[in-house]
């Protein structure tokens, strides 16, 4: 009786192998041969699931996005607080550190490749919308001020998180999980004290013209 293989599961497994390669050795390590060896497959089998290296890489980048979104959604549906939900997006565990290492590994390619740049931009904007949704719920629950400008603070928090992740990736030992969470706590307190953006301060969307924030 033939063995039934889940096509999507196999593709996601290959993507996880690619992510580990990028996180540990960089983008140059991603070749069909290296991926096949790390996955324990023949090179011809990799070609059965992906047309070429480009398709593999884009699928891997989108898999990182989907996994992060699923983590946030799970915490959101379980009604966890803002801090807990935000924590799922930070490199506070080995798995999430690997996600961030791979994410940054894609940046050089996204700088010079229009298709990869488009995928990266879409992920950044989707993450912004996710953070804004978390802030809106926290505001509606009374955890944050009613006058909180969620658009502005979601953009600001995302900028802080990206900068934080950059430092964690460069030197993980300098940023244990509790230190990362402490920085998020500072941002949450800032939202409570300064719910509206200062006059003239713009944090523009990368996907369109700068939004206009009411002072």
Domain boundary assignment for the chain:
7-193
The pLDDT value recorded for residue 3 is 52
- The Cα 71–Cα 180 span in angstroms is 18
Question: CA 39, CA 60: separation in Å to the nearest integer?
Answer: 14
Cβ density class 73-107: b for 16+ within 10 Å, e for less: eebbeeeeebeebbbbbbbbeeebbbbbbbbbbbe
| CATH placement of domain 7-193 | 1.10.357.10
Cβ-count burial 7-25 (b if 16+ within 10 Å, e if not): eeebbbebbbbbbbbbbee
d(CA 207, CA 63): 21
Prediction pTM value: 0.87
CB within 8 Å of 128: residues ≥ 6 apart = 154, 155, 158, 205
pLDDT of residue 211: 47
Position 5 scores a pLDDT of: 63
Query: Given this model, what pLDDT does residue 207 score?
Result: 67
In 3D, which of 10, 20, 4, 21 has the Cα closest to residue 46?
Answer: 10
pLDDT along the chain (215 residues), means of 10: 69 95 93 92 89 93 93 91 96 95 92 91 94 96 96 96 97 97 97 90 68 47
Contact (CB, 8 A) for 191 and 148: yes
């Amino acid at each position: 009786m033939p063995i039934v293989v889940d096509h999507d599961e196999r593709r996601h497994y290959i993507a996880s192998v690619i992510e580990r390669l990028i996180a540990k050795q960089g983008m140059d390590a991603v070749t069909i041969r290296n991926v096949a060896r790390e996955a324990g497959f023949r090179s011809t089998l990799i070609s059965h699931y992906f047309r070429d290296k480009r398709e593999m890489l884009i699928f891997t980048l989108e898999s990182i996005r989907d996994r992060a979104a699923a983590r946030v959604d799970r915490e959101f549906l379980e009604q966890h607080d803002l801090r807990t939900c935000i924590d799922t997006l930070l490199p506070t565990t080995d798995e999430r550190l690997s996600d961030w290492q791979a994410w940054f590994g894609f940046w050089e390619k996204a700088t010079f490749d229009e298709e990869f740049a488009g995928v990266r931009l879409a992920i950044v904007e989707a993450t912004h919308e996710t953070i804004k949704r978390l802030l809106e719920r926290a505001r509606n629950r009374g955890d944050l001020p009613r006058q909180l400008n969620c658009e502005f603070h979601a953009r600001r928090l995302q900028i802080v998180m990206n900068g934080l992740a950059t430092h964690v990736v460069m030197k993980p030992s300098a940023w244990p999980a509790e230190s990362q969470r402490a920085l998020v706590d500072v941002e949450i307190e800032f939202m409570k004290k300064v719910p509206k953006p200062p006059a003239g301060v713009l944090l523009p969307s990368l996907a369109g013209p700068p939004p206009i924030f009411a002072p």
